[in-house]
């Protein structure tokens, strides 16, 4: 797949894991707001939970997540106590009216938790919420953290899916991003997970890293494929040193340019697809029989703060410092400062610091953006059925894009607007055309590819 000469590879746009995006959240959404939103959750509803652990025992320079390095475990144990308290508070507000269908542990590095603390969190969740019998529990894993007792603890809490951070196996690239991790240690963790009955393993890879080239990336992809993962995520490194100061440790002169990044992404994707994986959305791949691949083929793929998912729950409750929730009424984000977060939750409060309530226009634009990100298309007739007159300006935008010369980013097939295949690597830029907030904010974003 060749890049068109007029494709804007350097355009900086959001990743669209939400709409409106987080830079447009405001302090008008409070704990009292969220109490009302939780009270409005329908009886018999299905929930998803996200638990954030904002600590790492080392700081990877490429990372843009909300986390901090700590060499002392006492603050981590104290944080787990506070997280259990928030779980108790939110669980009481839900009151057993809804069952939890999915739980995701993210970070930071949730696998730096001591086994006893992982057990504590598992017990708190079971006491506070009604967990569906087939609840899916996924955990982000740093292979360098893993020991046999940590693997046993993850199995004991019912983990069904593991997502391992790999990034790149080349030693020079690893040194440049402060992430030393051997292929052998990664393989051992994958084997340990499968030996404990974990049914799904995902590997996260990055392109666009310092000193990365075709040869090193191809070698990494080949090694990753040799582990026969169920899923692979192929992300572009987001260089945002104005947002994450530790990224200034990465030598910018060693980063590939935009066209080389594009070529790296296409080469790696081609290797993964040639190995029998189905391409899903912008940057995910799965075995054809995987639940995400099936959801994509049936038009049920979703996108939330964890990226692509087959999770259809309309309510996602974020627990832990900086975590973001999505309710039917809007988004809400927890306090990012761990000390403030802990003081609020220990007093039985909800540590909400900002968010946004959806307008009808937000719902319509968000629906179009999610469909473009997941399906590379949206149906104008369905948009009109869902949103009535609110769909009219969005269809007009799409019609204008479909008529733009010389190479439109949307094609029209009856009522359906489709992103042509050669523009799909830049679907974020297409989605951005439907973002009413983008030109009004001051936020800076990573490049589209």
Does residue 165 contact residue 177 with C-beta atoms inside 8 Å?
no
Quick one: pLDDT at residue 5?
39
- Tell me the pairing of strands 416-418 and 377-379: antiparallel
d(CA 307, CA 138): 13
Quick one: pLDDT at residue 249?
83
Does residue 360 contact residue 379 with C-beta atoms inside 8 Å?
no
Quick one: pLDDT at residue 441?
62
d(CA 152, CA 173): 31
Quick one: pLDDT at residue 7?
47
DSSP class of residue 12 equals B
Q: What is the DSSP string of 342-384?
A: HHHHHTT---EEEEEEPPHHHHHHHHHHHHHHHHSEEEHHHHH
d(CA 85, CA 79): 10
Quick one: pLDDT at residue 3?
40
Does residue 321 contact residue 50 with C-beta atoms inside 8 Å?
no
Quick one: pLDDT at residue 1?
37
Binding residues for [4Fe-4S] cluster: 56, 60, 63
Quick one: pLDDT at residue 444?
53
Tokens of 220: 């990494």
Tokens of 280: 């899903």
d(CA 149, CA 114): 9
Tokens of 72: 């002392």
Q: What is the DSSP string of 211-222?
A: T--HHHHHHHHH
Every domain of the chain and the residues it spans: 22-326
Using CA atoms, how far residue 280 sits from 209, 223, 230, 263, 273, in Å, is: 22, 21, 13, 19, 10
Quick one: pLDDT at residue 238?
84
What residues does 105 pair with on adjacent strands? 51, 139
d(CA 177, CA 56): 15
**Class level of CATH domain 22-326:** alpha beta
Length of the chain: 449
Binding residues for S-adenosyl-L-methionine: 50, 62-64, 107, 140, 167, 179, 204, 238, 324
Q: What is the pLDDT along the chain (449 residues), one digit of tens a residue?
A: 334 433 456 677 899 999 999 999 999 999 999 999 999 999 999 999 999 999 998 887 777 777 788 889 999 999 999 999 999 999 999 999 999 999 999 988 999 999 999 999 999 999 999 999 999 999 999 999 999 999 999 999 999 999 999 999 999 999 999 899 999 999 999 999 999 999 999 999 999 999 999 999 999 999 999 999 999 999 998 877 876 777 778 888 989 988 899 999 999 999 999 999 999 999 999 999 999 999 999 999 999 988 899 999 999 999 999 999 999 999 999 999 999 999 999 999 999 999 999 999 999 999 999 999 999 999 999 999 999 999 999 999 999 999 998 899 999 999 999 999 999 998 999 999 999 998 876 555 555 56
Binding residues: 50, 56, 60, 62-64, 107, 140, 167, 179, 204, 238, 324
d(CA 427, CA 401): 13
Q: Where are the alpha helices (DSSP H) in 228-323?
A: 258-274, 291-297
Closest CA to 447 of 21, 65, 8: 8
What residues does 55 pair with on adjacent strands? 68
């Amino acid at each position: 797949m060749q890049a068109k000469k007029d494709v804007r590879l350097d355009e900086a746009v959001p990743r669209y894991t939400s709409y409106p995006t987080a830079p447009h959240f405001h302090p008008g959404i409070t704990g009292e707001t969220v109490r009302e939103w939780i009270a409005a959750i329908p009886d018999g509803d299905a929930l998803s939970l996200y638990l954030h652990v904002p600590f790492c025992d080392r700081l990877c320079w490429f990372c843009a997540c909300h986390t901090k390095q700590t060499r002392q475990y006492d603050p981590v144990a104290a944080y787990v106590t506070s997280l259990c308290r928030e779980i108790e508070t939110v669980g009481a507000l839900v009151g057993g009216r809804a069952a939890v269908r999915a739980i995701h542990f993210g970070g930071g590095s949730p696998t730096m938790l001591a086994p006893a603390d992982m057990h504590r969190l598992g017990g708190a969740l079971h006491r506070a919420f009604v967990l569906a019998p087939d609840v899916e529990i996924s955990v982000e894993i740093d292979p360098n953290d893993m020991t046999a007792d940590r693997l046993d603890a993850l199995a004991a809490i019912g983990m069904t899916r593991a997502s391992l951070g790999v990034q790149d196996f080349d030693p020079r690239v690893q040194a440049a991003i402060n992430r030393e991790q051997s292929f052998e240690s990664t393989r051992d963790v994958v084997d340990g997970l499968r030996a404990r009955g974990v049914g799904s393993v995902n590997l996260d890879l990055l392109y666009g890293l310092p000193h990365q080239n075709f040869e090193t990336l191809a070698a990494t992809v080949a090694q990753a494929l040799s582990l026969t993962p169920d899923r692979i995520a192929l992300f572009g490194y987001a260089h945002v040193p104005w947002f994450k100061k530790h990224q200034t440790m990465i030598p910018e002169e060693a980063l590939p340019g935009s066209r080389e990044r594009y070529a790296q992404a296409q080469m790696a994707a081609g290797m993964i697809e040639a190995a029998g994986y189905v391409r899903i959305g912008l940057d995910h791949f799965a075995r054809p029989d995987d639940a995400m691949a099936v959801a994509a083929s049936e038009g049920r793929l979703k996108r939330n703060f964890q990226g692509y998912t087959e999770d259809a729950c309309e309510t996602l409750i974020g627990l832990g410092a900086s975590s973001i929730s999505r309710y039917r009424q809007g988004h809400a984000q927890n306090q990012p400062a761990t000390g403030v977060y802990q003081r609020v939750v220990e007093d039985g409060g909800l540590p909400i610091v900002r968010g946004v309530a959806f307008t009808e226009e937000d719902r319509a634009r968000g629906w179009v953006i999610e469909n473009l990100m997941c399906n590379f298309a949206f149906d104008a007739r369905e948009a009109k059925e869902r949103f009535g007159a609110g769909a009219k300006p969005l269809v007009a935008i799409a019609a204008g894009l479909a008529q733009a010369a010389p190479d439109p980013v949307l094609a029209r097939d009856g009522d359906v607007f489709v992103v042509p295949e050669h523009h799909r690597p830049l679907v974020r830029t297409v989605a951005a055309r439907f973002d009413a907030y983008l030109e009004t904010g001051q936020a800076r974003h990573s490049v589209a590819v």
